[in-house]
Amino acid sequence: MFTRILIANRGEIACRVIKTARRMGIKTVAVFSDADRDALHVEMADEAVHIGPPAAAESYLVIDRIIAACKATGAQAVHPGYGFLSEREAFAQALKDNGITFIGPNPHAIAAMGDKIESKKAAAAAGVSTVPGYLGVIHDAQHAMKIAEEIGYPVMLKASAGGGGKGMRIAWSASEVQEGFDRSKSEAKSSFGDDRMFVEKFIVNPRHIEIQVLGDKHGNVISFGERECSVQRRNQKVIEEAPSPLLDEATRRLMGEQAVALAKAVHYDSAGTVEFVAGQDRSFFFLEMNTRLQVEHPVTEMITGVDLVEEMIRVAYGEKLRLSQADVTLNGWAVESRIYAEDPTRNFLPSTGRLVTYRPPVEGPDGAAIVRNDTGVFEGGEISIYYDPMIAKLVTWAPTRLEAIEAQARALDAFAIDGIRHNIPFLATMMGQKRWRSGQLSTGYIAEEFPNGFALVAPVGPAAQRMAAVAFAIDHVQNLRKRAISDQMEGWRAVSFEADRVVTLGARRFEGHVSGASDTITITFGDGMVMQVSSGWRPGRPVWHGLVDAVPVAMQVRVVRNGVTLAHAGTHAEARVYTRREAELAAMMPEKAVADTSKALLCPMPGLVKAIVVTVGQEVKAGEMLCIVEAMKMENVLRAERDVTVSELNAKEGDSLAVDAVIMEFA
């Protein structure tokens, strides 16, 4: 077996590979850019080599620097992770030419499957169902519009070398083809160094289902069942699960057989994924093959018990597959949520900055379920503008789908992140949605369920009273702590902390009498209801764990003036805790007016101004483009929300802007 391997990647996937290599007794080498000098994968590896500036094009994408790092450290093989060079034929060939093993498929397979145009031709030749489309390279928007008219709308514009949702647009009209083609082509060029585009028919109300395959260098290929990745936004997966709630055993077997046939046709010899677009009637068509380890591979590992990274390393070394198709069994259900540094209340725009708080849930057993958290960050670390905004992948396994979803909901409630915006509130909301829980999915799920975007909601009904009870309990614990402070000044009578308190949750008001020790507290509400709260929570902890009327509850806690901000099950509220007299006075306090920003265009995320397409004095109609801001490899088009006249430009192309920086002003 290899004694030393290099991981040509960063973040959570680099950490993931290091864990398996360490268990196998293999030394690891990390590579890092200037921006990742203090990253977790650098800390975890046995050695680390600096490979250049922050921009991926000058560091992680430079083949010669990766090879030089291998030679300098004596690394015998390279695991590419996903993204970056993982599907670059030239990289696999360069390693081979230098006597270094690529822990991935052979260059021929990458060339055949990594190119989305050629892969569709190969799939058709192998007897795999394919989506109608134009498989030639499309050079300009006019050509794309002509092809789209022939295929029929809607169509999908896709970069041939694309992945991760980059270089992809759905177009419903000729004007959307013209604009989307240019944006996709530009994204593909900056992300992959390859701007070739193609067009295919977009299946309405589709589901995204993929088959995990594994091949060795002796001609053996097997499949590991399917994953469903239909919950997406901007063509990027958000929640994945295995198996799929759509498929029956016959369809699963047929998809697996087609995936294996395609892999064998190109002599595939590593872990890979054959992706299909499926109709609600279980019809399916080949979409593409990813010649690498997928981001969502943990859900397959959880239901099969197979470490896919270990198998990749073993087959790269030349070993035969240790499993036959008959050995692969699917056990239980797994759900994965991608924790992103993005603001779901602002159309999921990226967020960058320092992780002031990062406290994931405890990994391991949770009743009948199992919790796993794959991450590449740590508390105090920084989310950079240069790379993908993923913070972690939270995975839960359980015997049934609903149990796995419930475990995921509990784990999300126990996941505390502060310092940047993140999508945990959105994910927690998803876990409670009836449509998601029933498995009625499609790739348009998020757009259909959140047509006006996502907004934080306050708890209602019993959930609000439960949150108020936790606020009462937290305040009581803090008061007990204050009473224990030594050397307090003695007055002519003892200082009395009132047991009668008032909690306000937005417009709702709860009166209650609090009694008991810090670990077990009784709240008697003004309406006569009595609730028992038990917890070992202490001030300073970002997550409150406990029982409310014997029901396990976890809530994220942030201290604010006169109370706490609590988040639970996708709901969010500022709980202000007062004495009754304080509550009377607080009710009379004037509310601060929100600043009027209607006459300015604010930068919605930290990013780079790629283009300003208007001039001072120009009249712009609602919906027209104003500028393009690039953040984390994605180009975001900012449009006018109403008819305006541009009065001043406060930024120019090439400027790096902070969130809420004024880009332009309107008359």
Q: What is the DSSP string of 343-401?
A: EGGGTTEE--EE-SEEEPPPPEEETTEEEEEEES--TT-EE-SSS--EEEEEEEEESSH
Residues of CATH 3.30.700.30 domain(s) within the chain?
Answer: 461-483+497-586
Do 579 and 502 meet the contact criterion of CB atoms below 8 Å apart?
yes
In terms of Cα–Cα distance, which of 79, 60, 104 is closest to 193? 60
Q: What is the pLDDT of residue 255?
A: 97
Residues of CATH 3.40.50.20 domain(s) within the chain?
Answer: 4-103
For the domain made up of 207-449, the CATH class stated in words is alpha beta
* Cα distances (angstroms) measured from residue 307 to each of 224, 315, 404, 421: 12, 13, 20, 32
Q: Specify the pTM.
A: 0.84
End-to-end CA distance of the chain: 69
Q: What is the pLDDT of residue 491?
A: 63
Catalytic-labelled residue, pool 12, 210, 241, 288: 288
Residues sharing a CB contact under 8 Å with residue 186, sequence separation 6 or more, in sequence order: 195, 610, 635
Q: Show the DSSP H helices in 172-327 as ranges.
A: 174-192, 249-265, 297-304, 308-317
CATH 3.30.1490.20 fits 132-201, yes or no: yes
What are the 10-residue block averages of pLDDT along the chain, 667 residues in total?
98 98 98 97 98 95 98 98 95 98 97 82 91 79 91 88 78 92 86 84 90 98 98 92 97 97 97 95 92 97 98 98 97 98 88 93 97 97 90 98 98 96 96 97 94 93 95 92 79 62 93 90 94 96 97 95 94 94 90 78 89 95 91 82 93 91 94
Q: Can 310 be counted among the known catalytic residues?
A: no
Coil, strand or helix at 601: strand
Q: Show the DSSP H helices in 88-173 as ranges.
A: 89-97, 107-114, 116-125, 141-151
CATH 3.40.50.20 fits 4-103, yes or no: yes
Q: What is the pLDDT of residue 161?
A: 78
* Cα distances (angstroms) measured from residue 346 to each of 253, 385, 592: 41, 17, 22
Q: What is the pLDDT of residue 557?
A: 97
The DSSP H or E segment spanning 476 is helix 461-483
CA angle 452, 456, 458 (to 5 degrees): 125
Q: What is the pLDDT of residue 492?
A: 54
Q: What is the pLDDT of residue 404?
A: 98
Q: Domain 461-483+497-586, what fold?
A: Glycoprotein, Type 4 Pilin (3.30.700)
Q: Show the DSSP H helices in 39-105 as ranges.
A: 40-44, 63-73, 89-97
Residues of CATH 3.30.470.20 domain(s) within the chain?
Answer: 207-449
Q: What is the pLDDT of residue 411?
A: 98
Q: What is the pLDDT of residue 188?
A: 85
Residues sharing a CB contact under 8 Å with residue 183, sequence separation 6 or more, in sequence order: 169, 628, 635, 637
Q: What is the pLDDT of residue 498?
A: 67
| CATH number for the domain whose boundaries are 600-666 | 2.40.50.100
Q: What is the pLDDT of residue 506?
A: 85
Residues of CATH 3.30.1490.20 domain(s) within the chain?
Answer: 132-201
Q: What is the pLDDT of residue 574?
A: 95
